[in-house]
Amino acid sequence: MAGESDEPDEAAARLETALERIAVAAERRLSEPAPVATQPVESPADASAGVIESQTTMEIAARLDGLIERLRGALAVRPG
């Protein structure tokens, strides 16, 4: 991003802030009560809404795992 430092400490602080926002948003989604169905589910799309949200959560988790693994690898291979 323009104007941001590439210093490791500053980048780590930005990463920590971003991860904290992701965690707060995920916790908020989990704490929200599930909508109560007032009518029977009539379409497969309605029935699969929860599955899609779960898949999205799993995809985000997988992306974060990959990024964290890359970061760990980069930090482990420090010359010097």
Q: What is the mean pLDDT of each run of 10 residues along the chain (80 residues)?
A: 74 91 86 64 58 78 91 77
Which run of H or of E encompasses 54? Answer: helix 49-76
pLDDT of residue 77: 73
pLDDT of residue 65: 93
What is the total residue count of the chain? 80
CA dist 40 to 46, 47, 52, 53, 75, Å? 10, 10, 19, 20, 53
CA dist 37 to 6, 13, 42, 56, 72, Å? 49, 42, 11, 22, 44
